[in-house]
Amino acid sequence: MIKENQANIKLSKNESLKEGDPRLSGGIPGTLADPELDRFASDDTQFLKFHGIYQQDDRDLRKKGKKFMFMIRTRQPGGLTTADQYLTFDDLADRFGNGTLRITSRQAFQFHGVLKGGLGPTIQKINEALLTTLAACGDVVRNVMAPPTPATNKVEDEIYRDAGLLSNALLPQCTAYHQIWLEGQKLDLGGAEDKVEDPLYGKTYLPRKFKVAFAAPPSNDTDIFTNCMGFIAIEENGKLAGYNLTAGGGLGMNHNNEATFPRKADVIGFLTPDQIEAVAKGVVSIHRDFGDRSERKHARLKYVLEDRGVEWFRSELESRIGFKLETARPFDFTSQADVFGWQKNTQGSWFLGLFIQSGRIQDTGDYRLKTALRKVVEKFRPELRQTSAQNLIINHVGEADKEAITKIFEEHGVEVENQSTILRRASMACPALPTCGLALAESERVLPDILGRFEDLLGELELKDEEIVIRMTGCPNGCARPYMAEIGFVGRAPNKYQIYLGGNEASTRVNRLYKESIPNDKIIEELRPVFERFKNERQPGERFGDFCFRAYFDNVSSEEARQ
């Protein structure tokens, strides 16, 4: 099926690139083979994304000329990492990256600062560890998320099974990735095989990226309503009855473009576990056929839902899958937060939730997290799980090993109990400068200082024990999901931010714009009156985000808030 009038519209450049090379290889092999080149051509950087790679440069050094480097992202359904895989990642970060690992907001790992010569060895080792970088980026279904906290549900194994099933079922089948990175073959770019279409994605794949998540109430620890497609596990009598399907979520927007906006997903209906692959492929195919291929800023599935409506979407989906969805079943989310410290899992062993500021695993001064993690993983061989809030879970630890693991972390300056502060544990930031080419302002590098100023203000107002979800991004793409936070900061220009207020604890409500362009050093000054009102006017037990929504935006519709 082709979207109405699709054949008559002017396609974006990315669409022409994909149609001209459905194997997604471009000139990548030639550039890799040329030792004189430190970068890929502009068109080829679009193909690289499908392979899990972003070409970047160190923006701190631009005055001296561009120093090109690359970010590599893994694909790991549910954020599962074995001990051997983690040790491989730790080694690769030192050998080919900048010495740090970064947990993403979608439960994967990123390697930063990789030079061109390190791309091949890094990707080969990741695949030898039985993982991949294919489809970690690009106009395809990206890493499939699943609830990481072992103690939150009794049907965890089934949810992870279904997340893995969908990750495999929705993986593109292009052969160039394996031939370039794993086999080192010279591609026959004129062969008939180049014209073969992917059975799900077709010649031009999806109009834009596509995000999928699973969640298990009462914990919304994957921020499911921010995803293009979601599956809310419905547990009945201790068994997985099925899933409520959600569709049309997404947070990216563009400044000064009212046609783009954050959107919370709609609940579409209920399905049984045996129907999940057919339903998922049906939803993806709707995005493939009806997504906007002329304007990439308007190409996410959320705009299909917004423009055509939920009833149209459900009818279209049911016509494709050949059966009707049941009415969605009741569910209730109460929190999005991770858990920290030692906890018992559902199998009777222990897990340790570790707070990692902005997901950055590194050694800095007396805080030697990277070294400590390596020692723990080498000696005790736990399973690791990355969370969507950029933290880490060390799972399947025996009672006898808890004390020794705690000691290793403490010897390296990493607290296991009473980790950081309540404000910092609820915070997130995207990398932004100096590596991200889209960043308009700082994020990861300035958030700790901003949080410190907030802590001073809250202490002054006798509110220091308040948990407030604070998220920051350097641009409006929203990679750290600031539009669901109680306080969201979005880069507007160098050193200036939009301020959003009014998200809630369960991450089921999009916040609203409060201030348009505030310098970093004026943030506390702008928000002090809000906190003073919160202290004096809050209802018993009311959280900051709920107060802000009630006090400032309760009578403002979503449409009005976008203006």
Annotated active-site positions, please?
73, 142, 209, 211, 430, 436, 475, 479
Distance CA 204, CA 551 (A): 47
Across 377-393, b (16+ Cβ under 10 Å) vs e yields beebebbbbbbbbbbbb
As beta bridge partners, residue 499 has 489, 515
Distance CA 304, CA 308 (A): 6
Of 336, 301, 380, 333, residue with least CA distance to 485: 336
Q: Could you give the count of Cα atoms lying within 13 Å of 344 in the half-sphere of its Cβ?
A: 4
Distance CA 134, CA 441 (A): 29
Tell me the angle at which helices 402-411 and 369-380 cross, rounded to the nearest 10 degrees: 150
Helix-strand-coil percent breakdown of the chain, rounded to 5? 40, 20, 40
What is the residue whose two structure tokens read 């009777």? 348
Q: Which residues contact 545 (CB under 8 A, 6 or more apart)?
A: 468, 469, 485, 486, 487, 501, 502, 503, 504, 505, 509, 511
Cα-based angle 333, 334, 339 (whole degrees, multiple of 5): 110
As beta bridge partners, residue 71 has 54
Cβ(474)–Cβ(437) below 8 Å: no
Distance CA 304, CA 250 (A): 12
Terminal Cα-to-Cα distance of the chain (whole angstroms)? 34
Structure token pair of residue 500: 């959003």
